[in-house]
Amino acid sequence: MDNPSLKNYPKFTLGSTFTKEQLDFFNKYGFVHFTGVFSPQEVSELIEGYNDASKKLIASKDKMVNGIPVIFGHDENGQRIVQRFPHTSKYSERLHQMVIDDRIQRLRNLLKYKSARIAEDERDGVVFNHYVNSKHSRFKHMGWHTDSLREVFYLKKVYPMLNIGVYLDKSSEINGGLRVIPGTHKQNLWGMLFHKTYYRSFKEDKDEVLVVADPGDVVIHHGQMWHRVGHSDFKDEVSRRRIMYIPILAGPKQKKMPNGKKKTPIYHHLQAFAKFDKK
């Protein structure tokens, strides 16, 4: 059952600065929801950017981008699609322009670190997730996890990080929807590692909150917060859920490997055991 105190959590308008109410909500619960940040026209352009980027990647026959595995699948029409696309903005100028847009850049101020930055070239970069519940889809839902786990596998100090979710479809329980456990961004390292079974656990949590968003909305969640993506009970187009995640990192910048070569991070081998395609 959803957390009753946050079932109808407040949604905000993104301005040039954050209000005290917005900051207080984020600091207490670990997420904050801004409505209508991108217009319907801009949403269409972002989807078009993803479609063009997908064609480029599929044509290249690459299975990894900067060492990060790509998840491919098929939609309801049998068309091959990219379902988890790391570093997407490197394949699309339109997506890159979105990343450097002031509306995205100002979100860095949610992290109280001078080193806070939009990490387009680090870790997994801008990730485009395309969920759809169809016969040959390989990405239908995602189990409980935190985003900060990757820092542990890099053997780095776990600095606070954020993920900016840009919604391109209406998101609710109908197409799975994001579920977060408010306040878990304040947990210690033990809780971040062992509170849930990473990627294998899908069980509803009594404290989870469903994020209901419209196309163009932006939802930011803290990297140490536990969250999952539900499985849609519907098939094909109704189940479609497209969202981009843009990371905000703090601390030392990740060094690039010579000649652009990168090894696959250990945490992506952990994801290999994840159950994305079965309920």
- Residue with the bigger pLDDT between 263 and 217: it is 217
Per-residue pLDDT at 256 exceeds 90: no
Average pLDDT over residues 4-28: 94
pLDDT tens per residue across span 162-207: 999 999 999 999 999 999 999 999 998 888 888 898 888 999 999 9
Would you state the pLDDT for residue 197?
A: 87
Look at 13-27, 157-171, 247-261 and tell me which has the smallest mean pLDDT.
247-261
* 72 Cα distance to chain centroid: 17
- Residue with the bigger pLDDT between 262 and 114: it is 114
Q: What distance in Å separates the CA atoms of residue 223 and residue 27, rounded to the nearest whole number?
A: 13
Q: What distance in Å separates the CA atoms of residue 130 and residue 138, rounded to the nearest whole number?
A: 10
Nearest to 164 by CA among 111, 231, 239: 111
208 touches 181 (CB < 8 A): yes
Q: What distance in Å separates the CA atoms of residue 245 and residue 220, rounded to the nearest whole number?
A: 9
- Kindly state the percentage of the chain with pLDDT values over 70: 88
Would you state the pLDDT for residue 263?
A: 67
Would you state the pLDDT for residue 1?
A: 41
Q: What distance in Å separates the CA atoms of residue 267 and residue 86, rounded to the nearest whole number?
A: 14
Would you state the pLDDT for residue 148?
A: 84
Q: Is 71 exposed, middle or buried (0-12, 13-18, 19+ CB in 10 A)?
A: buried
pLDDT tens per residue across span 69-88: 999 999 989 999 999 999 99
Q: Is 201 exposed, middle or buried (0-12, 13-18, 19+ CB in 10 A)?
A: middle
Q: What distance in Å separates the CA atoms of residue 257 and residue 122, rounded to the nearest whole number?
A: 11
Would you state the pLDDT for residue 232?
A: 95
Average pLDDT over residues 210-232: 97
Would you state the pLDDT for residue 62?
A: 93
Would you state the pLDDT for residue 259?
A: 42
- The tokens for 200 are 């294998």
Would you state the pLDDT for residue 200?
A: 86
3-class secondary structure per residue, the chain: CCCCCCCCCCCECCCCCCCHHHHHHHHHHCEEEECCCCCHHHHHHHHHHHHHHHHHHHHHCCCEECCEECEEEECCCCCEEEEEECCHHHCCHHHHHHHCCHHHHHHHHHCCCCCCEECCCCCCCCEEEEECCCCCCCCCCEEEECCCHHHHHCCCCCCCCEEEEEECCCECHHHCCEEECCCHHHCCHHHHHHCCCCCCCCCCCCCCEEECECCCCEEEEECCCCEEECCCCCCHHHHCEEEEEEEEECCCCCCCCHHHCCCCCHHHHHHCCCCCCCC
pLDDT tens per residue across span 116-155: 999 999 989 999 999 999 988 999 999 999 998 777 766 6
Per-residue pLDDT at 22 exceeds 50: yes
- The tokens for 120 are 């387009």
Q: What distance in Å separates the CA atoms of residue 269 and residue 174, rounded to the nearest whole number?
A: 30
Give me the domains of the chain, ranges plus CATH numbers. Answer: 20-252 (2.60.120.620)
- Residue with the bigger pLDDT between 212 and 270: it is 212
Nearest to 150 by CA among 208, 255, 93, 224: 224
Per-residue pLDDT at 58 exceeds 50: yes
Residue 67: pLDDT band (50, 70, 90) is confident
Look at 93-102, 115-124, 249-258 and tell me which has the smallest mean pLDDT.
249-258
What's the mean pLDDT when you consider all of the chain?
90
